[in-house]
Amino acid sequence: MAASPRWPSHALRQLQLVVPGGLLTYYLGTIQHISDALASTDDVDSWGRTATLASLSLGVLTVALFIYILLTPWIHSVAPDFRSWRESGLLSSVIPILTFSIVSGWLGMTATLGLWSSMGFPKAVVGTSAIYALMFGLLGLIPAPRIRSQRPD
C-alpha cells in the first residue's frame, strides 16, 4: 500500500508543533521541574505534589480521550460526524470532557509550575504550553482511519 501524498505535508504541519514544543520543554527543563514538584515531601509542598499529580492525570485523560476518538471507527464500527458532534451520542459526551481536561490540565500545570517550582509564572506558561504543543503534535502524527463523509454531496 503506497503512502498517501497527504502524509508528508500533514507530518510537516505536526512537526511545527513537535519541534518547538520539544525544544522549549528541554530548554526550560520543564520535565525536571515537574519531577521536582512530584518528589517534594515536606508538608508545605504536599499541595504542590497533589496539584502536580492532578494536572498530570488530566494530561493522561486528554491523551486517552484523543486516542479513543481516533479509534472510535474501529471500536464502534461507526465513523463519528465531527461537524455535528452535539447530536452524536458518543461525541456529545466525550468532547466536553476532553475540553475540560485540556483546559483544566493546562491551567493546573501552569499554576503548579508557577507556585511550586523555581520557574515562576511567565516561564510556567511557556513551559506548559510547550508540553501541550509537543503532546498535540505527537498525537496528530498517529495515523487515523479514512472517514468517508456520510452526507450526500
Tell me how far apart the alpha carbons of residues 60 and 135 are, in angstroms, rounded to a whole number: 10
CB 66 within 8 A of CB 60: no
Task: Give this prediction's pTM.
Answer: 0.84
Domain membership flag for residue 81: yes
Residue-wise pLDDT tens digits, 112-131: 999 988 999 999 999 999 99
Residue-wise pLDDT tens digits, 95-109: 999 999 999 999 999
Instruction: Give the range of the structural domain holding residue 33, as residue numbers without chain letter.
Output: 13-140
Our count of domains for the chain comes to: 1
Q: What is the four-CA torsion angle of 70, 132, 38, 57, rounded to 10 degrees?
A: -30
pLDDT at position 103 is 98
Residue-wise pLDDT tens digits, 44-77: 667 888 999 999 999 999 999 999 888 887 777 7
